Amino acid sequence: MRILITGATGFIGQPLCEALAEKGHELLAVSRGPDKARELLPEGADVRAAVADFADASPEAVINLAGEPIAEGRWTDEKKRKIVESRVESTRAIVELCAAAESPPKVLVSASAMGYYGDQGDREVTEDTPPNHEFVHDICDRWESEARKAESHGVRVAIARIGLVLDQGGGMLARTLTPFKLGVGGRLGDGSQYMPWIHREDMVRILIFLLEREELSGPFNASAPKPVTNAEFTQTLASALHRPAVLPAPAIALKLAFGEMSRLLLTGAKMLPKRLEEAGFEFRYAELKEALAEILDSQ
């Protein structure tokens, strides 16, 4: 298939492109820096600066991963605007491409995030769980609503509500490994908040699973079947590194440092991949200990 990918050079996008190329798919990649992107992506990828530039390419499928980083710095009004608009506008461009095409793509697999549910405490969260309305939910709700507009053009839309993606070279671990290796890591707040996590390899496999399974549409929780609390994550990571984890970051300090953004660190959801498992998806890394062992051993 000719597959259009936004966010192709990102933490998930690069291994996804490699996996799709190995399967023999033709890659159409969107990047604001096409020359640099060609160096990072598989040979033969057609890289252009905007979704609209592919109007003549007739993509048969789209995977939408683009978006401004959400967990960096304080959420000023300008930062919040960029977080929302980067997701909505990139998705809107895809819908416009679908609307203008004589033969629209058959499927759009669009990213969303665990933030769709907002803070859920310790209750089990499936795709049917009502969200807690707050800023992170509003981001995801607008993002998903924009993607679903492609359905009116005959496009199957599958949405991946992505948890914390773990692997070397980026994502959450890139920000946490150094203090833990130095023995100065610790839980965030009281550590009771749930962290739905997923190994990057499984995340790539989920996106391809949603791409290939023609009967699947709607939202899917994209996280491992055994979420952990922040305290459990902290102890498991410290144990894997053979280091102590005795220096917690108090909630008040995080709130002072990051303002509203600290809610990403201090709240969570016990998100379960109910629909994926019902559809027959099998995780290679269901246990955090196994996932971290593979990641750390490959460094």
The answer to whether 126 and 221 are in contact (CB under 8 A) is yes
CA distances from 195 to 14, 226, 227, 232, 254 (A): 24, 10, 6, 9, 17
- Structure token pair of residue 62: 């789209």
Sequence letter at residue 69: P
Instruction: Express as a percent the part of the chain with pLDDT over 70.
Output: 99
Tens-place pLDDT, residues 108-145: 999 999 999 999 999 999 999 999 999 999 999 999 99
**pLDDT < 70 stretches in the chain:** 298-299
Superfamily covering domain 2-165+197-223+271-284: NAD(P)-binding Rossmann-like Domain (3.40.50.720)
Residue the block writes with tokens 């002072």 = 256
C-alpha–C-alpha distance, residues 261 and 264, integer Å: 6
What is the pLDDT, as a whole number, of residue 176? Answer: 87
Contact assessment for residue 139 and residue 79, using Cβ atoms and an 8 Å cutoff: no
> Crossing angle of helices 135-148/77-100, nearest 10°?
10
Domain locations in the chain as residue ranges: 2-165+197-223+271-284
- CB distance 97 to 55 below 8 Å: yes
pLDDT (0 to 100) of residue 196: 96
Residue 280: closest CA among 213, 211, 204: 213
